[in-house]
């Protein structure tokens, strides 16, 4: 394995939301693949889009435009906790020197009813840098990352479905 250095990286694509968004889903920071594609959950092995499509009973969106339309249609806002950080590749465990995103950008524009964190690292970072009094309830979800091999698609669907209200479809 090559030794990789920490690189300071800034998030280069914005959040997806509108005034109708009711659910805010936050990741930690985009993977190398997502940064290359300039959109969320761009790694082909990440299960986010499969999970979201299955929960809402739709085909998995393939293009960035289709993904944005899917999110807005289902009142989902999507962003990351981190605006910039030092990171080794896509490794959440290597994240250092965090500058968080300002959650008020979305929270003041939409009546968000719940904030859902995609994985342990996103949850830890959110609590450390972004959590403020008066914000909507926060729930940690199992990561859709391929690194979370302990959670197969079926288990992810069950956990995400339960957290997001079960009766979403």
Exposure class string for 58-82: b at 16+ Cβ within 10 A, else e: eeebeeeeebbebbbebbbbbbbbb
Tens digits of residue pLDDT in 117-166: 999 999 999 999 999 999 999 999 999 998 899 999 999 999 999 998 75
pLDDT of residue 164: 85
Catalytic residue among 46, 118, 148, 152, which?
46
Q: Is the pLDDT of residue 167 over 70?
A: no
Distance CA 68, CA 95 (A): 27
The domains found in the chain, sorted by start residue, are: 7-163 (3.40.470.10)
pTM to 2 decimal places:
0.94
Report which of residues 103 and 165 the model is more confident about.
103
The pLDDT confidence band at residue 3, using thresholds 50, 70 and 90, is low
46 in active site: yes
Distance CA 1, CA 160 (A): 34
DSSP characters over 136-164: PPEEEE---STT-TTS-HHHHHHHHHHHT
Report which of residues 10 and 168 the model is more confident about.
10
- Residue 100 pairs in a beta bridge with 82
The DSSP H or E segment spanning 34 is helix 32-37
Tens digits of residue pLDDT in 29-57: 999 999 999 999 999 999 999 999 999 99
Which contacts qualify for 31-36: CB closer than 8 Å, 24 or more apart? 31/90, 31/145, 32/89, 32/90, 33/90, 35/9
């Amino acid at each position: 394995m090559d030794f990789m250095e920490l690189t300071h990286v800034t998030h280069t694509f914005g959040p997806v939301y509108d005034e109708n968004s009711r659910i805010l889903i936050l990741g930690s920071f985009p993977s190398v693949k997502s940064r290359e594609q300039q959109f969320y959950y761009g790694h082909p092995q990440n299960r986010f889009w499969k999970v979201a499509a299955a929960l809402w009973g739709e085909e998995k969106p393939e293009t960035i435009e289709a993904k944005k339309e899917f999110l807005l249609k289902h009142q989902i806002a999507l962003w990351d906790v981190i605006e910039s950080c030092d990171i080794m590749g896509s490794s959440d465990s290597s994240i250092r020197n965090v500058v968080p995103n300002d959650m008020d950008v979305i929270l003041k524009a939409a009546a968000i009813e719940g904030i859902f964190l995609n994985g342990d690292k996103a949850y830890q970072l959110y609590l450390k840098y972004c959590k403020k009094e008066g914000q909507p309830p926060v729930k940690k979800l199992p990561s859709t990352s391929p690194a979370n091999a302990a959670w197969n698609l079926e288990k992810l669907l069950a956990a995400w479905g339960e957290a997001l209200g079960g009766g979403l479809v």
